[in-house]
Amino acid sequence: MQVITKDEFMLRAEEFMDKIEKGAIFIYPTDTIYGIGCNALNEESVIKIRELKDRSEAPFSVIAPSKSWIFKNCDTPSEADGWLQKLPGPYTLVFRLKNNNCVARSVTQDLDTLGVRQPNHWIMDAFEALEIPIVTTSVNKTGNPFMTCVEDMNPGIKSRVAFIIDEGEKKARPSDIVHLYGPEIKIRDRSK
């Protein structure tokens, strides 16, 4: 496991992006908090993140590589237009899926919905260049506080990731979750 800075990631972007594409589990900063992720098409890697977090049931969200990826794979009702215009930003938008094969089965846990994010952060440029969805979930064991800096990370998680992009302490909160399917829009404000 290596801890790197943004500059080191950018300098060696091809190397790290190749690792991500091949299934590496890694920790990265966003506009809200740190995320742990992997190539969301790699079933084996997604299962490893489930094991790291002790999270067997709940679905994961993904960072969508582009808005066109969202439109291609998710049912985006007209009520979602305003929310889509807020991307990139601190929101996870949950849509009904049009294409169940756009992510590994372990991401959705066989649900017909998917949460998608696009952080307002430099990391989005890297994920956009990869053109694949990236699992995004908080860095913690389920039920424990999320990581705000590398020093407070669970050692069991830290020892099992390929690399960590360290951006110092994060003082934000997880993204708000907006359910954009069903009869009405539901918003889960994560500041509470």
Query: In terms of residue numbers, what domain contains 137?
Result: 2-188
Contact between 112 and 103 (Cβ < 8 Å): no
pLDDT at position 1 is: 85
Asked if residues 59 and 113 have their Cβ atoms less than 8 Å apart, the reply is: yes
Number of domains observed in the structure of the chain:
1
Alpha-helical regions (H) of 5-113:
6-11, 13-21, 43-53, 67-73, 81-85, 105-108
Residue 192 has pLDDT above 60, yes or no: no
* Arithmetic mean of pLDDT over the chain: 93
Mean pLDDT of 152-173: 93
Beta bridge partners of 92: 177
CB of 137 within 8 A of CB of 1?
no
pLDDT recorded at residue 189: 64
End-to-end CA distance of the chain: 34
Instruction: List pLDDT tens digits, range 73-86.
Output: 999 998 899 999 99
pLDDT band at 57 (very low <50, low <70, confident <90, very high): confident
pTM of the model as a whole: 0.92
Q: Phi and psi for 42 in degrees, rounded to 5?
A: -95, 100
| DSSP category for residue 128 | H
- What is the rounded CA–CA span in Å between residue 54 and residue 175? 21
Angle subtended at Cα 1 by Cα 11 and Cα 12, rounded to the nearest 5 degrees:
10
Please report how many Cα atoms fall inside a 13 Å half-sphere around the Cα of residue 171, on the Cβ side: 0
CATH of the domain at 155: 3.90.870.10
Q: What is the mean pLDDT of residues 46-56?
A: 92
